[in-house]
Amino acid sequence: MILNLFGSHAPQPPVDLLSASARDGIITHHLQKHLPGMGLREMSARRWVDGSAPPITRLFQLELLKGAGLTAWWGFSLDFVPHVSGGKLRWHRSDRTAMLDVIVNPKNLPQPCYLFGAARLEDDLGKLIPTAAVGAQETWRRGKSYEGMIEIIREIRVRNSNCHRYDVYTQLPLACAFLLARTGELDAALCELDIYLARDGLTQADELTAALKALLRAS
């Protein structure tokens, strides 16, 4: 008997690391039980979208973690929110390029592991996916308006309900800024943008800053 994450004196399970194809095949099987009925379609392994109502795309995905774990993310990709890559503004406006701007990644959900074989992963996913699907539906219901999305973001920040700190999710403050601008709260939007720029060390990027502020004002 040795100490491990399953309990102070639980026996260590035998390691049986699944291949990427075996892992994703099992994941797809579980996601197909829930997501098509919610209007989503598979775009790639572990990533499902519904882009039928632009400028808003609903997105559900499972992200790989270090140590052969998985975590569930869902929320909204917004056509009017850019992202910064290589010091330049980029857009993610198609189903294939959609990325989460409003990011729900609850810390209180199970995190499946594919280090201990197929049966263990099947069991873990059976616990996670139904709960995550219900949570995603609630998020999408609450986020039908821009005001609803802002409230979701504020709750994540205040309650620290995601797996990581609010400021770890690059798009959350940027999405908040653009959503505030869309709802007529330009001063608050500019404040959120300043927080985003300072946190990511972009305050000296004059051209980028000017472009983002111009986009906010035009929202």
Q: What is the pLDDT of residue 72?
A: 98
Tell me, what DSSP letter sits at residue 166? G
Checking if the pLDDT of 8 tops 70, the result is: no
Angle, alpha carbons 95-100-106 (nearest 5°): 135
Task: Note the helical H segments in the chain.
Answer: 20-31, 118-142, 146-159, 171-182, 186-199, 206-218
pLDDT tens-digit map of 65-102: 999 999 999 999 999 999 999 889 999 999 999 999 99
66 vs 166: CA distance, rounded Å: 20
Mean pLDDT of the chain: 93
Q: Say what the pTM is.
A: 0.91
23 vs 28: CA distance, rounded Å: 9
Angle, alpha carbons 8-12-14 (nearest 5°): 165
pLDDT tens-digit map of 152-190: 999 999 999 999 999 899 999 999 999 999 999 999 999
Q: What is the pLDDT of residue 6?
A: 42
116 vs 120: CA distance, rounded Å: 6
Closest by alpha carbon to 43, among 62, 23, 65, 70? 62
Checking if the pLDDT of 1 tops 60, the result is: no
Q: What is the pLDDT of residue 12?
A: 65
- Three-class SS state of 173: helix
pLDDT tens-digit map of 195-214: 888 887 776 778 999 999 99
